[in-house]
């Protein structure tokens, strides 16, 4: 069987990669595109099986993605889907490597993150395209000997012939060009010393590429300071590994223990607000909203969802399928509160009865939105409280695109981060930084005990002068009162 060699690499003028093509990957990313989208990798990124790839110095997240590569055999320009496969000469294995540390740098082009030398190993064997059914191929990836990706081409979002035909509408696919056709779920991060292997075979167990092998090495040359430098955050770590759990990150909002939750439930937001103000936090209330259950005091951890103003072309790519709104609803956990940034836009709904019911079934403590609510009567009848600006009959697409989840947002005039502690009651909604929650709760309990004493003294006819707040004389009396309660 023919092998990928230096001549094959030298013949490649273009390396074109598809962003999302496997349903399993689309589900993982929370977005199903209506049309394929692409990016270019330089031909200098190509390398042979058995080569080493360098994780650049200063980078943490070298991602790997096992993919099936197509090699064009004859030029294709404005070809039909029916004719497209005849322009493909070879099928082989590939690994779409990239560093998430530089993903931010090129606004989606992936040039620096995916274009490094050796970042596209291919091979080892070439399978003649005319000997296989492109809808019956299997791809597997091994990370240090463990299978981490295993999928087939049976239900691709965009079959291979469609990719070739689509690309050919605007540009000429030339002999030797590579098309990387997308990766299934299971892609993750490799470290120096790791061994990556990718194999493509006919699903009936026939022809195979053999295993494409790549070893990761540590780079030693630092980036120059005149260009983009590596940087990562937990969002990029979660994307690179596939989930927060896989990245070894704590689940959003693990700071709220049952004991702390009970303390916060025992005090009102008015008291908490005064304690936060003592600590210099004056803008931590979500304002202007109404509660469907004003009788409830709710305490939970924030999960966040951000809407951006609707733009029809972007709604086509982000509004349909398992979009950010549905992803947020379907991942909210027991006791969490989903907080939505809707920019105070009242002219459409941001949540309706079906998705609110799904959140309630999953155990959400509440939903908070500074936008409208659809199906209001049904939402208001639920046991789970919803905090909202107004009822509105329109669907969110009238004014919003569901854009992103578990990021820092603005809601009702304040900033909310995933993992913040939300406390809501009839007085309002507060956002408490987790690092302050224990001391704020403890001091709020003390404050409310003092205020109980003060209220009793006022009922007995005492003036508030010196009593509220307590002066030294009254504080001594309060301490005696408190000691007497302890003896009871």
Q: pLDDT at residue 108 above 80?
A: no
Q: Give the whole-angstrom CA distance, residue 295 versus residue 75.
A: 70
Half-sphere exposure in the Cβ direction for 443 (13 Å, CA): 15
Per DSSP, the residues of 318-331 read HTSSS-HHHHHHHH
Q: What pLDDT does 1 receive?
A: 63
Task: Read off the tokens for 95.
Answer: 């690994």
Domains and CATH numbers, the chain: 6-241 (3.90.850.10), 258-435 (3.50.30.40), 443-487 (no CATH)
Buried b (16+ CB within 10 A) or exposed e, 94-131: bbbbbbbbbbebeeeebbbbbbbebbbbbbbbbbebee
Tell me the torsion sign for CA atoms 251, 255, 257, 261: negative
Let me know if 409 is exposed, middle or buried by CB neighbors in 10 A (0-12, 13-18, 19+): buried
Alpha helices in 279-394 (DSSP H): 312-318, 324-331, 353-361, 376-380
Q: What distance in Å separates the CA atoms of residue 209 and residue 357, rounded to the nearest whole number?
A: 48
For the question of whether the overall pTM of this predicted structure is more than 0.75, the answer is no
C-alpha span between 179 and 199 (Å, rounded): 16
Helix, strand, or coil here: 16? strand
Nearest CA to 21 out of 72, 74, 68 is that of 68
**Rounded CA gap, 356 and 350, in Å?**
10
pLDDT of residue 109: 87
Of 321, 347, 351, whose CA–CA distance to 339 is shortest?
A: 351
244 or 262, which is more confident: 262
**What is the DSSP code (8-state) at residue 208?**
B
pLDDT digits (tens, 9 = 90+) for 142-169: 999 999 999 999 999 999 999 999 999 9
Pairing relation of β-strands 386-388 and 366-369? Answer: parallel
For the cut 70, the answer to whether the pLDDT of residue 251 exceeds it is no
* Residues whose CB falls within 8 Å of the CB of residue 234, separated by 6 or more in sequence, listed in order: 244, 247, 249
pLDDT category at 341 given cuts 50, 70, 90 is very high
Please list the residues that pair with 15 across neighbouring strands.
41, 178
Rounded distance between C-alpha atoms, residue 207 and residue 205, angstroms: 7
Q: Which helix (H) or strand (E) holds 411?
A: strand 409-411
Distance of CA 430 to the CA centre of its chain: 25
Query: Which range, 96-105, 171-180, 469-478, has the best average confidence (pLDDT)?
Result: 171-180
The pLDDT of residue 320 is above 90: no
pLDDT for residue 252: 55
Interatomic CA distance for residues 341 and 402, integer angstroms: 10
pLDDT one-digit tens code per residue, 269-300: 999 999 999 999 999 999 999 999 999 999 99
Rounded-to-integer distance, Cα 253 and Cα 272, Å = 19
Evaluate if residue 245 carries a pLDDT over 80.
no
pLDDT on residue 135: 95
Check residue 250 and give its pLDDT.
62
- Cis status of the peptide bond prior to 237, with omega within 30 of 0: no
Structure tokens at 351: 């949540």
Give the pLDDT band (50/70/90) at residue 225: confident
């Amino acid at each position: 069987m023919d092998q990928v060699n230096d001549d094959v690499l030298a013949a490649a003028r273009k390396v074109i990669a598809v962003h999302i093509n496997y349903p399993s990957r689309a589900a993982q990313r929370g977005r199903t595109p209506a049309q394929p989208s692409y990016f270019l990798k330089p031909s200098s990124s190509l390398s042979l099986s058995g080569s080493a790839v360098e994780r650049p110095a200063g980078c943490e997240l070298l991602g790997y993605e096992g993919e099936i590569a197509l090699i064009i055999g004859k030029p294709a320009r404005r070809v039909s889907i029916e004719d497209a496969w005849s322009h493909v000469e070879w099928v082989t294995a590939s690994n779409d490597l990239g560093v998430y540390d530089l993903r931010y740098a090129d606004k989606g082009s992936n040039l620096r993150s995916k274009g490094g030398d050796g970042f596209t190993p291919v091979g080892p064997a070439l399978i003649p395209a005319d000997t296989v059914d492109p809808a019956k191929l299997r791809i597997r990836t091994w990370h240090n000997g463990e299978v981490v990706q295993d999928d087939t081409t049976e239900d691709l979002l965009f079959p291979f012939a469609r990719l070739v035909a689509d690309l050919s509408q605007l540009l000429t696919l030339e002999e030797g060009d590579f098309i990387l056709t997308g990766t299934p779920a299971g892609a993750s991060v490799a470290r120096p010393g790791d061994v990556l292997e990718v194999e493509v075979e006919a699903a009936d167990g026939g022809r195979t590429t053999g295993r494409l092998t790549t070893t990761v090495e540590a780079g030693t040359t630092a980036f120059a300071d005149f260009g983009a430098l590596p940087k990562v955050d937990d969002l990029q770590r979660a994307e690179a590994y596939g989930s927060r759990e896989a990245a070894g990150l704590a689940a959003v909002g693990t700071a709220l223990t049952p004991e702390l939750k009970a303390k916060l439930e025992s005090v009102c937001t008015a008291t908490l607000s005064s304690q936060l103000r003592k600590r210099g936090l004056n803008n931590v209330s979500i304002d202007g909203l109404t509660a469907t259950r004003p009788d409830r005091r709710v305490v939970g951890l924030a999960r966040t969802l951000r809407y951006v103003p609707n733009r029809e072309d972007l709604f086509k790519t982000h509004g349909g399928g398992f979009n950010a709104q549905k992803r947020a609803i379907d991942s909210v956990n027991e006791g969490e509160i989903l907080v939505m940034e809707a920019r105070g836009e009242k002219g459409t709904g941001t949540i309706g009865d079906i998705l609110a019911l799904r959140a309630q079934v999953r155990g959400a403590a509440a939903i908070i939105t500074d936008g409208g609510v659809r199906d209001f009567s049904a939402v208001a009848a639920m046991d789970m409280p919803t905090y909202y600006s107004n009822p509105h009959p329109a669907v969110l697409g009238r004014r919003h695109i569901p854009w992103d989840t578990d990021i820092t947002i603005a809601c009702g005039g304040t900033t909310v981060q995933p993992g913040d502690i939300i406390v809501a009651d009839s007085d309002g909604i507060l956002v408490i930084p987790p690092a302050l929650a224990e001391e704020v709760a403890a001091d709020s309990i003390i404050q409310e005990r003092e205020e109980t004493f003060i209220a009793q003294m006022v009922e007995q006819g005492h003036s508030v002068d010196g009593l509220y707040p307590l002066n030294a004389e009254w504080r001594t009396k309060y301490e005696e009162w408190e000691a007497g309660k302890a003896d009871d």
